[in-house]
A = this chain, B = another copy of it.
Amino acid sequence: MYKTEAIGKVSKDAPFEKMIIGREGTSDDDVEIDIKYCGYCHTDIHLVNNDWGFTTFPCVGGHEVAGVAVKVGSNVKDVKVGDHIGVGYFVDTCFNCEYCENNDEVNCIKGITSTSCGHIQHGRIKTDGKQTYGGWSKKMTVNRRFCSIIPESYPLEKAGPVFCGGITMFTPLYEYNAFKGGLKVGIAGLGGLGQMGVLLAKAMGNNVTVISSSARKIALANELGADNYVAQNDEEGMKKAEKSLDLIIDTIPASHDINPPLNLLKKKGTYVVVGVAPEPFQVHAFKLLTDQVKITGSATGGMKITQECINFVAKNNILQKTEMINSFDEMNNVTELLNKGNDSGLRCVIDIEKIFS
């Protein structure tokens, strides 16, 4: 067990403070990372505020980690000291189930151990607390399997969010055949996820339609390179776009009716939900029978596809706008910034060296 500095809370209502946490030392299968940057996303807000009721304190957030390997276990042959390393939403799984064996660790049948506030159960990660401590910290040690290698060319301060929003959009594009291009892809909602979706789908060579509630984001869609824009309050535009898309990825985190965008799908098209709308979706059997659309969901991705994602993002120099957080004051006032960020596509990233200096 070694000690390292971290940014955490001692209770739900406490402000962020610098704390010293204990992490299990680096084993033969691990990589020890000096963390340079770590994202602060909406999920972190929920975790550190115990909105979901399972957070224990003290708690340290952060699951969009970008750092540098400083120690590498003797069994790890494909990572060397100095490599840029990314860590995303989870840091341990069972290794033995059909999903783990198929490089689809995120679906581990026994459950993932989340990077922060995660249930410690599979034995490869240990802390001096009751849950995992996230990446808002100077250092962390992670089993090689859950490390992605960030290409040297890619700006490290942009990399963290790729392991959350980036892989969330990359996985359904990959799984539903947009990776090789040539599809007509709809992206519903143009917040942070939606913008990443447009950039990825375009870089893959698809024709991309942004589906938004109004015409308000048309300039942003054009700037991102979208080919078409459909505003749901434009009846004529919606009618014209009917049955035109092969794949729609719905990033909208608020409750909404999926039937208007569903009508834009071709027969047998696929509708993938990645935003967590609180109210259930409603779909008629008749729509399913006549159009045979598939409605499904996707959540981050396994480790193999995550490596493909960061390689692809680096190769195509896909860069999301990031707002740097350099002080504890900024940490404490981040909700406002994040809400602004969600609309503009901005990602908040903590500069770990600066915040501790």
Q: Which residues of A contact B (CB under 8 A)?
A: 99, 107, 109, 243, 267-268, 270, 273-278, 280-299
Taking a contact as CB atoms under 8 Å apart, the answer to whether A294 and B295 are in contact is yes
> For the complex, would chain A's binding face be called helix, strand, loop or mixed by DSSP majority?
mixed
CA distance A109 to B281 in the complex (A): 27
Check B298–A292 contact: CB distance below 8 A: yes
A51 to chain B, nearest CB (A): 14
Are B288 and A296 in touch, CB under 8 angstroms? yes
> Chain B residues with Cβ under 8 A from A296's Cβ?
288, 292-295
Interface centre among A109, A274, A286, A292 (most CB of B within 10 A): A292
Q: Which of B276, B282, B291, B292 contacts A285 (CB 8 A)?
A: B276
- A129 shortest CB reach to chain B, Å: 25
Out of B277, B281, B292, which one reaches A297, CB within 8 Å?
Answer: B292
Q: Quick check: B277 and A285 within 8 Å, CB to CB?
A: yes
10 pairs from A and B in contact (CB 8 Å cutoff): A107-B292, A274-B289, A275-B285, A276-B286, A277-B285, A280-B284, A281-B284, A281-B285, A290-B299, A295-B296
Q: How far is the CA of A293 from the CA of B99 in the complex (A)?
A: 14
Cβ–Cβ contact B285 & A297, under 8 A: yes
Residues of B within 8 A of A276 (CB): 285-286, 289
